[in-house]
Amino acid sequence: MKLMAFEKPLGELYDKIEQLKKLSRESDIDLSSEIEKIEQRAAAVREDIYHNLLPSQVVQIARHPNRPDSLSLFRLMSDDFIELHGDRAFGDDPSIVGGLGRIGDFRVVWLGHQKGHDTKENIRRNFGMPNPEGYRKALRLMQMADKLKMPIVTLIDTPGAYPGIEAEERGQAEAIARNLREMMGFGVPIVSVVIGEGGSGGALGIGVANRVYMLQNAVYSVISPEGCASILFRDAKQADVAAQSLKITAPDIVGLGIADGVIPEPLGGAHHDWDVVATAIKTQVLSDLSVLSSQSADQLRDDRYAKFRAMGIFTEG
């Protein structure tokens, strides 16, 4: 497992444990009490690190290459998941995926951003940065869900919509804007979970939901800390400060009234145990769907609009 920079003290302890175990095997000396002591220390260090994470460290966990991806989570939550492709206009964007599947007693439309776990897959998935056809595929699947009265569950994990020439030519802004508007009008329940990076408009483009959740180490932000640092602080090295200032962690996003709750991750991050994460998301989604599915189409629309209508902090008078 790839360790992150702030996990270095932990990595050193793990290395020491390995060395002692090897030595113990090769030399027939009993080092078990030594090993146990270091293991205890490692556990304490681990607790200490993960209970005192800085926002910039949470960003690293949110971007960890082994973090569970949308397709894997769909399959872990739905035995019968079947993927569907294409926007019926231009192409099939591999950085947004979707399809049908059962979750508990509900038949749902799944949607999510899709990143890769290695360079090759990341290049194929454009690092989870969709082009307009990705948003249009998502819209097509959501319109189908609305027609067939199926709830929509979206998993958000993108650095942002792709800033490229072709993306501009094909109307990146229009594609996202249209999704924001149309999602507000669907008469079926929509539940969204930010599972990794909630990168700006590219994230919100599949995130206008009745219920929004954050995985414990996910982040949600109007701009990446790096982007904010280079634009506002005029110094890319200030990304850590920007991460702090922007208030992007799960507790902050819940505190600001944007998300409804935090879904816990295993200690050390979601990449340590995908099954546990899938079960936690599934439990939350099922609990919401059982409440939302009894509401009428108009109630669902009104509920969703009221949620977003209340967002904004200003003075009046």
Partner 1 sequence: MSIIDWFAKREKNTVDTTEKLNIPGHLWIKCDQCQEILFQKDLKDNAHVCLKCSFHFRMAAMDRVALICDPGSFVPCDEDLGPTDFLGFSDTESYVDRIRKAQTKTKRKDAVVSGLALLAGKPVSIAVMDFSYMGGSMGSVVGEKITRAIERGLENRCPVIVFTASGGARMQEGIMSLMQMGKTSGALERLGRAGIPYISVLCDPTTGGTSASFAMLGDFNLAEPGALISFAGPRVIEQTIRQKLPDGFQRAEFLLSHGMVDRVVDRRELRETLATLLDLSFGGPVS
Phi first, then psi, for residue 241 (nearest 5°) are: -65, -40
The reply on whether position 191 binds partner 1 by CB under 8 A is no
Q: Which is nearer to partner 1, 7 or 133 (CB)?
A: 133
- Of 11, 33, 10, 9, nearest to 20 (Cα)? 33
Between CA 241 and CA 243 the distance in angstroms is 5
Angle, helices 8-27 vs 32-51, to 10°: value is 170
Q: Binding partner 1 by CB under 8 A: which of 62, 142, 215, 246?
A: 246
Distance CA 135, CA 97 (A): 10
> Can you list the positions of beta strands (E) in 247-310?
261-263
**Binder of partner 1 out of 231, 279, 287, 299 (CB under 8 A):** 231
Residue closer to partner 1 by CB (options 13, 248) is: 248
Closest separation between CB of residue 84 and partner 1, Å?
25
254 binds partner 1 (CB under 8 A): no
Asked if residue 200 binds partner 1 (CB under 8 A), the reply is: yes
Q: Does 247 bind partner 1 (CB under 8 A)?
A: yes
| Sign for the pseudo-dihedral over CA of 161, 208, 224, 128 | negative
- Smallest separation, CB 2 to partner 1 (Å): 25
Considering the complex, state which of residue 72 and residue 230 has its C-beta at the smaller distance from partner 1. Answer: 230
Q: Alpha-carbon distance 125 to 129, whole Å?
A: 8
Q: Which of 24, 60, 66, 245 binds partner 1 (CB under 8 A)?
A: 245
Q: Which stretch binds partner 1 (CB under 8 A): 21-29, 81-89, 100-108, 159-167?
A: 159-167
Q: Which of 177, 267, 286, 297 binds partner 1 (CB under 8 A)?
A: 177
Looking up tokens 């993960």, which residue turns up?
Answer: 50
Kind and range of the H or E run holding 41: helix 32-51
Query: Which 100-119 positions form the footprint of partner 1 (CB under 8 A)?
Result: none
Is 59 an interacting residue with respect to partner 1 (CB under 8 A)? no
Collect all residues with Cβ–Cβ distance below 8 Å to 206 and sequence separation of at least 6: 96, 111, 112, 113, 135, 138, 154, 156, 179, 183, 192
Does residue 233 belong to the site contacting partner 1 (CB under 8 A)? Answer: yes
314 binds partner 1 (CB under 8 A): yes
Using the rule CB under 8 A, is 315 a contact of partner 1? yes
| DSSP structure class, residue 249 | B
User: What part of residues 117-136 is at the interface with partner 1 (CB under 8 A)?
Assistant: none
Write down how long the chain is. 317
Strand, helix or coil for residue 93:
coil
Stretch that binds partner 1, among 92-100, 107-115, 176-184, 267-275 (CB under 8 A): 176-184
Whose Cβ is closer to partner 1: residue 49's or residue 139's? Answer: 139
Which of 54, 163 has the CB closer to partner 1? 163
CA-derived radius of gyration, the chain:
21
Using the rule CB under 8 A, is 53 a contact of partner 1?
no
How buried is residue 118: exposed, middle or buried, by Cβ count under 10 Å (0-12/13-18/19+)? Answer: exposed
- All residues at 6 or more sequence positions from 164 whose CB lies less than 8 Å from its CB, including other chains: 131
Residues that bind partner 1 (CB under 8 A): 161, 163-165, 167-174, 176-178, 180-182, 184-185, 200-201, 204-205, 207-208, 220-223, 228, 231-234, 242, 245-248, 252-253, 256, 258, 304-305, 308-309, 311-317
